[in-house]
Amino acid sequence: MKALVHPTEATYDHIADAIADKGYCVLPQLLPANLNNALQQRVMNLDDEDFRRAGIGREQDFQLNNAIRRDETRWLTLDNKIDKTYLDQMAEFRLAINRRLFMGLFDYEAHYAHYAPGAFYKKHVDAFKGESNRVLTTVLYLNPEWREEDGGQLLIYAPGSDAVIETVNPNFGCFVIFLSEQFPHEVAKSYRDRYSIAGWFRLLDPLQAPLI
Ligand code: OGA
Ligand code: MN
């Protein structure tokens, strides 16, 4: 891949201000086009067997799971060059946000997600207060030429409310960030194959940290 053009300091300022002011930020574009393209190629070329039906927390009940979410996921790993490029970008992002907001973000995990036609993810939060160290959610969308009637919109709700405050089409290159514990959200039923990368910045969990 050609050299990356990194997000500018002004872009990070804008994101940090939005997180501090309202808790979320929707950017039509964040990463360089060549990285978005490489990630799209990668996710489209993954085989069906590479994906796992996503689960919901500790819930083992397939029926319940099926009623809540229908996406398939696959974790990004450092041993793949393209995954690593994205994870490196998110490491830079993490440091840029920590410098501005002192959030103490410690690490990041991310998976590719595929919503086949008919798939959705009902209203949920990514982290429950005190139960998880996930603090900041990111979603990068990898769908060229998405149309309103393709569905699959991300709906973001006001904290503790049924009011939708943001409707996001999963357009190619669009990048969304929100506080994981604050914002219930859902993925409306998608009528087309829908590809994205969902990720979470986490705080250091002393119970999971290796003993040194
Ligand atoms: C999730 C999620 C949103 C999206 O994976 O937890 O809410 O728009 N994804 O893909
Ligand atoms: Mn979510």
Query: Is the residue at 1 inside a domain?
Result: no
pLDDT, tens digit only, all 212 positions of the chain = 666 788 999 999 999 999 999 999 999 999 999 999 999 999 999 988 889 877 766 555 677 788 899 999 999 999 999 999 999 999 999 999 999 998 999 999 999 999 999 999 999 999 877 667 899 999 999 999 999 999 999 999 999 999 999 999 999 999 999 999 999 999 999 999 999 999 999 998 766 655 55
In the chain, how many domains are there? 1
Query: Is the residue at 210 inside a domain?
Result: no
Tokens found for residue 106: 């410690």
Query: Is the residue at 4 inside a domain?
Result: no
Query: Is the residue at 211 inside a domain?
Result: no
Q: Report the predicted TM-score, pTM, of the whole model to 2 decimal places.
A: 0.93
| pLDDT, tens digit (0-9, with 9 covering 90-100), for 136-152 | 999 999 999 999 999 99
Average pLDDT, the chain: 92
pLDDT for the residue numbered 73: 95
- Nearest Cα residue to 55 out of 66, 41, 47, 45: 66
| CA 82 remoteness from chain centre | 17
- Probe ligand 1: pick from 139, 180, 193, 194, max atoms within 8 Å of CB? 139
* Strand arrangement, sheet containing 121-124: 121-124, 185-187, 154-157, 164-168
pLDDT for the residue numbered 128: 78
Query: Is the residue at 193 inside a domain?
Result: yes
Query: Is the residue at 65 inside a domain?
Result: yes
Instruction: Give the CATH number for residue 118.
Output: 2.60.120.620
Query: Is the residue at 212 inside a domain?
Result: no
Answer whether 205's CB lies under 8 Å from 133's CB. yes
Query: Is the residue at 15 inside a domain?
Result: yes
- Probe ligand 1: pick from 137, 150, 192, max atoms within 8 Å of CB? 137
Range of the domain at 57: 9-202
Closest ligand 1 atom to residue 73 Cα is 5
| pLDDT, tens digit (0-9, with 9 covering 90-100), for 67-103 | 899 999 999 999 999 999 999 999 999 999 999 998 9
